[in-house]
Amino acid sequence: MSRVPGWLGRVGSGLTHMGERLDRRKAEVEAEAEDDVTADLPASAPLPAPAPENVPPPPAYAPAVAARPDPVAAIPWGIRVAGEAAWRLLVLAGTLWVLMRVISAVQLVVLAFAAALLITALLQPTVAWLKRFGVPRGVATALTAIAGFVLMGLIGWFVVWQVLENLDDLSNRVTDGIDELKRWLLNSPFHVTEKQINDIANNLSDAVGTNTEEITSAGLQGVTVMVEFLTGALLAMFSTLFLLYDGKRIWRWTLKLVPAQAREGVAGAGPRAWHTLTAYVRGTVLVALIDAVFIGLGLYFLDVPLAVPLAVFIFLGAFIPLVGAVISGALAVVVALVTDGVFTALMVLAVVLAVQQIEGHILQPFILGRAVRVHPLAVVLSVAAGGLVAGIGGAVVAVPLVAVTNTVVGYLRSYSQEQALRQASAAAEPPAPADGPEAEPPAPPERPVTPVPAPAPVATDTLAGQE
């Protein structure tokens, strides 16, 4: 009986060693099978996932669960496009907001430089004309700038002199005109009584008396505005001198700020933009001069006081499209009404309307042409936006800015289309034949190419191309 426990121990130990050998053999067989499977798969194929152990199959009555789609695929295509466009528009709006904040912070400098660009577009052809006669650039610039600023100063002095000379006569005629207007209202079919007229006059007098402080503060603000105007005028003068003398170098330096990939397109759009601005300024000055001359002659022959200052105001108002013509014409009618009566005011209104109709339907299409034509809705919206952002100065520069932007965008669109067609033509060309007796491959069929309209001709006397 003493040998039985030892025998049982040896049997158990042998069974244990046999189980370990079976486990090792099983592992070796599984490893060899896995190696055989991976050897048959390509190198880029993913390895098969190991089968889960001890996972019971689902019961037959369990409902089938559909696989969840990709979140990107679950969003409709239209919403994805709207989302992509929305964040880009938000970035663009943020950039424009920051730009407008910067412009509003240095509004005086921006408006002065914009005025210098407009004056340069008006005077630069004179500099180019003098240079063609052999006048040095510096002398031509100095002569043109001095003549231009002296002429504008003389016009301003003449207007102020006319106002001061006719101030007493204007006051007497305004008093007589108010009395005549009062008599006309009393005899008119509107049934206005003298008591109502006196009440209106008393209310106006009381309003002036109670708002004396506001009027005084407005006068002080007027002094501040005058100081800012003189500062802006000096900045505009210096900027005009440098633009007339060194415009080509300034343009080249500006091109260095543009990324290299877009530099070629911007370099082509710059002279065309300057040509559009020059054409706009020349045409606007000519149209404004014609309006001022003919309306001023009408005011002179109708014996309206301050005919020359009103003509100058009409000339300046023409630089604000639509709005300026209405305001300047209305002022002329009001002056005629309070000085010469209702009949003269109606005659002035007829003259103003006739000249403005000729301007809108004949002068502007013929002088400005299609190169700087802007839709009336774009004119109204741009003038309103410019006036809200920067007052009168913003309303003046709004329309030329829209015209120049339209020219630049049109040129860049044509340029990008032309570049795309060139790349497509280069990709469609057959490769060069290799050396050897092999036959050349047949040429691919030619693709129809849509012709790109040639850009508008560019004047040689431009800021970007002046010598």
Local structure of 429: helix, strand or coil: coil
How do residues 116-173 score in pLDDT, each as one tens digit? 888 888 888 888 888 888 888 888 888 888 888 888 888 778 777 776 776 666 666 6
Whether pLDDT at 340 is above 70: yes
More confidently predicted of 209 and 190: 190
Mean pLDDT, rounded, for 408-415: 86
pLDDT at 91: 92
Please give the full DSSP string across 316-378, using - where no structure is assigned. HHTTSTTHHHHHHHHHHHHHHHHHH-HHHHHHHHHHHHHHHHHIIIIIHHHHT-GGG---HHH
Structure tokens, 121: 């577009």
Q: Residue 15 corresponds to which tokens in the numbers above?
A: 């069974």
User: Under DSSP, is residue 154 helix (H, G, I), strand (E, B) or coil?
Assistant: helix
Count the Cβ atoms, other than its own, within 10 Å of residue 239.
19
**Quick one: tokens of 318?**
């023409």
Chain-centroid distance, C-alpha 166:
44
The per-residue pLDDT for 89 is: 92
Query: What residues contact residue 304 under an 8 Å CB cut-off, 6+ apart?
Result: 310, 332, 335, 336, 339, 340, 344, 348
Gap between the Cα atoms of 360 and 291, Å rounded: 11
Share of the chain above pLDDT 90, in %: 2
Average pLDDT of every residue of the chain: 75
Cβ of 34: how many Cβ atoms within 10 Å? 13
| CA 97 vs CA 102, 241, 320, 394: distances in Å | 9, 32, 25, 16
Q: How far apart are CA 371 and CA 281, in angstroms?
A: 12
When pLDDT is cut at 50, 70 and 90, the band that residue 90 belongs to is very high
DSSP state of 385: H
From 67-76, 144-153, 344-353, the region with the lowest mean pLDDT:
67-76
Let me know if 75 is exposed, middle or buried by CB neighbors in 10 A (0-12, 13-18, 19+). Answer: exposed
Q: Give the pLDDT mean for 202-211.
A: 60
CB atoms under 10 Å from CB of 219, counted, come to 9
Q: Are 80 and 366 in contact (CB under 8 A)?
A: no
The DSSP annotation for 408-462 comes to HHHHHHHHHHHHHHHHHHHHHSPPPPPSSSPPPPPPPPPPP-PPPPPPPP--SS-
**Pairwise CA distance, residues 465 & 59, whole Å:** 84
Least confident of 124-128, 270-274, 383-387, 437-441: 437-441
Q: Give the Cα separation of 127 and 459 in Å (integer).
A: 14
How far is Cα 58 from Cα 171, in angstroms, rounded to an integer? 105
331-345, 370-384, 448-462, range with the lowest pLDDT? 448-462
Distance (Å, whole) CA 100 – CA 95: 9
The pLDDT of residue 457: 46
Distance CA 254, CA 178 (A): 58
* pLDDT computed for residue 280 by the predictor: 85
Helix 212-256 / helix 260-301 crossing angle, nearest 10 deg: 140
**What was the pLDDT predicted at 203?**
67
**Pairwise CA distance, residues 226 & 156, whole Å:** 14
Q: Collapsing DSSP states into helix, strand and coil, what is residue 202?
A: helix
Eight-class DSSP state of 76: -
Listed range (31-45, 53-67, 367-381, 444-458) with the worst mean pLDDT: 444-458
E strand map for 163-211: none
pLDDT digit string (tens) for 244-270? 888 888 888 888 888 888 888 888 888
- Site of tokens 């109670």: 210
